[in-house]
Amino acid sequence: MTSNDEAPRSIEVERGAGVAVWRQIEQILAAEITANGFGEDGRLPSEGELAKRFDVNRHTVRRAMLGLAALGLVSVEQGRGTFVQPGAIDYTIGRRTRFTENLQRQQHTAAGKMLSASRAKADPGVAKALGLRAGVLVYRIETLHESDGVPLTYARSWYPAGRFADLPAVLERVDGTTKALAEFGVHDYLRKWSRIGSVLPEPEVARRLNINRQQPVLWVENVDVDLDGVPIKYGVTHFAADRVQLMVEHDV
């Protein structure tokens, strides 16, 4: 395996070749990634180094990097650099979607933390999803989950405050949402529906996931219900698109 300094340098971009320069850079780097040309840590040279190598401006290099990220070949981490992506994690969405179980089945570590919690009046969208009247008090919980020490999901969730009094305090005390809800008599819950899309991240999402704002994220909007079919949570989760691929499971 070669080091970064020994990565191939012979291929050059061609102006006027009918293929955009940034696309040529993307293709060259993709070939080098396939050939394991970036060492054990998989770190690519900086934008400045690549701009000098290809004799282009940084904007052109940045576009190539975003192209590689969209292909799932690299992960662009703000403040750290760009790294070869070892392979996206399969994240299953089914009737019983649990973050820790999803990751542990694939021999990945999983860790989550509550970033903030507040009580507010439900706006019409949240109220409709939870089957409540607009203006009823709900808890808004903000969470971040990591896999193998890398941010994977950033979520905002809403729970009926009347049913789950002091939910934030319980979440602080116990390990995980499933155990917290069990203290309120919800010993199991199911996914009622999910809506999946892709979007460029707002600043807060990009900051939490440690990604470039030009790097698309996957989002999943969902409602969870208890075993009687009563809504208990409405949420929107953002996934770093180059670190995960969503797999919808049709439960029998």
pLDDT in tens, 152-167: 999 999 999 999 999 9
pLDDT at 6: 43
Q: Which residues contact 148 (CB under 8 A, 6 or more apart)?
A: 108, 109
Superfamily name and number for 89-248: Chorismate lyase-like (3.40.1410.10)
Which pTM does this prediction carry? 0.70
In the chain, CATH 1.10.10.10 sits at 4-84
User: 43: which DSSP letter?
Assistant: B
d(CA 181, CA 137): 18
d(CA 238, CA 229): 25
> E strands within the chain?
74-77, 81-84, 89-93, 110-121, 137-147, 150-160, 189-199, 217-226, 231-240, 244-248
* 25-34, 50-59, 227-236: least confidently modelled range: 25-34
In the chain, CATH 3.40.1410.10 sits at 89-248
Confidence of residue 11 (pLDDT cuts 50, 70, 90): low
CATH architecture, domain 4-84: Orthogonal Bundle (1.10)
